[in-house]
């Protein structure tokens, strides 16, 4: 086995004695869950004693991934013991692992495998690649270097991580490498049709009626460049985070907002861009934050006031670009960038 320095460090991490706690970030997405399960598959082949945990519940739509039941939810089943080794997958900062931080002390050796742009290198070993589409893709490379047998748990974990972090092969991080890895995972037995069905075409009836209610309240502004949808408390469902994408997917729309009622006269605003406009500037002005293409904040006022404020902010940003609607529109398909959460 020929190994580069980082892989050699990982190899020694795997070969030294001591139980491993492997974790990923709170509010876990497909890459967090998939990478964790794939890493668990590696630990199994090294016959290491380990625990897989997340300080949160894992959405049940991922329950088809082999090994899903092995992930311990620290919210309902906390851990208080100190582990000699901690592996953190897909978390740009250690604070994102939540209560799992209680399981480390100054003697714990920390391994950090991640791809977040703002990764802060908190590990003793940091296998961080900010250019790569998903943490799962880093783990795939490590499996190759360590000559790991790609079991169904590893294959499905990695495939789910890459599929979800590329927005179903939609974002600009959808590289030939991402597709090649997924191709090889399919040849190892992953059923791509099953994965897509389970993750994206298995919505609850409640979520779909909630979506339908919010879309029926959709309004278009700024010559059709802006769409705003909203949801009140009565029609709220937990899986509504992706509703904003439906407003943004309309032909000609480059900026989208999704306004959700938290309590009376208090709203959560999700902002999305598929042009050069940086919506994190708007979110920050309103006391929130986020990324260039996806950000969020809250606002106190009536729905009408909240909506008016969003329209004002969008209008201002459109004017600041000095571009015509046609010019903004031409950016639409070049700017669908990945957002790592």
Nearer to Mn ion, 135 or 273 (CB): 135
Residue in the shown chain whose Cβ atom is closest to Mn ion: 31
| Least gap, CB of 92 to Mn ion (angstroms) | 9
What's the alpha-carbon Rg for the chain, to the nearest Å? 21
| Least gap, CB of 142 to Mn ion (angstroms) | 15
Residue range at the interface with Mn ion (CB under 5 A); choices 98-106, 157-165, 212-220, 266-274: 157-165
Give the closest residue to 293 by CA, choosing from 231, 242, 259, 340. Answer: 340
Say what the alpha-carbon torsion angle 185, 64, 71, 101 is, to the nearest 10 degrees: 70
CA distance 17 to 61: 35
By the rule CB under 5 A, 114 interacts with Mn ion: no
| Least gap, CB of 295 to Mn ion (angstroms) | 18
Nearer to Mn ion, 138 or 275 (CB): 138
Q: Exactly one of 13, 23, 31, 37 binds Mn ion (CB under 5 A); which one?
A: 31
Binding mask 207-236 for Mn ion (x = CB under 5 A): ------------------------------
Residue range at the interface with Mn ion (CB under 5 A); choices 7-15, 16-24, 93-101, 132-140: 132-140
By the rule CB under 5 A, 90 interacts with Mn ion: yes
Residue range at the interface with Mn ion (CB under 5 A); choices 128-136, 138-146, 189-197, 271-279: 128-136
By the rule CB under 5 A, 56 interacts with Mn ion: no
| Least gap, CB of 30 to Mn ion (angstroms) | 8
Q: Exactly one of 55, 165, 313, 317 binds Mn ion (CB under 5 A); which one?
A: 165
Residue range at the interface with Mn ion (CB under 5 A); choices 130-138, 149-157, 201-209, 314-322: 130-138
| Least gap, CB of 193 to Mn ion (angstroms) | 23
Q: Count residues near Mn ion (CB under 5 A).
A: 5
17 CB neighbour count, 10 Å cutoff: 8
Nearer to Mn ion, 135 or 270 (CB): 135
Provide the binding-site residues for Mn ion, judged by CB under 5 A: 31, 90, 135, 165, 340
């Amino acid at each position: 086995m020929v190994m580069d320095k980082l892989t050699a460090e990982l190899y020694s991490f795997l070969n030294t004695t001591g139980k491993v706690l492997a974790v990923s970030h709170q509010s876990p997405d497909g890459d967090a869950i998939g990478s964790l399960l794939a890493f668990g598959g590696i630990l199994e082949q090294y016959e290491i004693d380990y625990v897989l945990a997340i300080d949160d519940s894992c959405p049940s739509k991922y329950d088809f991934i082999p090994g899903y039941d092995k992930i311990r939810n620290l919210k309902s089943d906390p851990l208080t013991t100190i582990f000699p080794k901690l592996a953190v997958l897909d978390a740009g900062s250690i604070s994102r692992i939540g209560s799992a931080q209680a399981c480390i002390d100054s003697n714990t050796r920390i391994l950090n495998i991640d791809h977040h742009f703002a990764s802060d290198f908190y590990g003793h070993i940091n296998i961080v690649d900010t250019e790569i589409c998903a943490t799962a893709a880093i783990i795939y490379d490590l499996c190759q270097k360590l000559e790991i047998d790609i079991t169904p748990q590893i294959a499905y974990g990695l495939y789910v991580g890459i599929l979800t972090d590329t927005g179903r092969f939609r974002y600009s991080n959808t590289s030939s490498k991402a597709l090649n890895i997924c191709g090889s995972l399919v040849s190892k037995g992953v059923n791509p049709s099953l994965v897509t069905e389970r993750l994206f075409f298995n919505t609850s009836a409640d979520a779909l009626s909630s979506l339908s209610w919010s879309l029926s309240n959709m309004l278009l502004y700024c010559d059709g460049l802006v769409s705003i949808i909203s949801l009140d408390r009565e029609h709220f469902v937990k899986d509504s985070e992706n509703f904003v994408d439906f407003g943004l997917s309309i032909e000609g729309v480059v900026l989208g907002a999704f306004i959700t009622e938290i309590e009376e006269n208090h709203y959560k605003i999700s902002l999305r861009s598929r042009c050069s406009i940086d919506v994190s500037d708007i979110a920050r002005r309103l006391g929130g934050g986020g990324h260039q293409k996806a950000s969020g904040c809250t606002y106190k006022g009536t729905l009408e006031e909240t909506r008016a404020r969003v329209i004002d902010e969008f209008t201002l940003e459109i004017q600041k670009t000095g571009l015509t609607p046609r010019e903004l529109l031409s950016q639409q398909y070049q700017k669908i960038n990945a957002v790592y959460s």
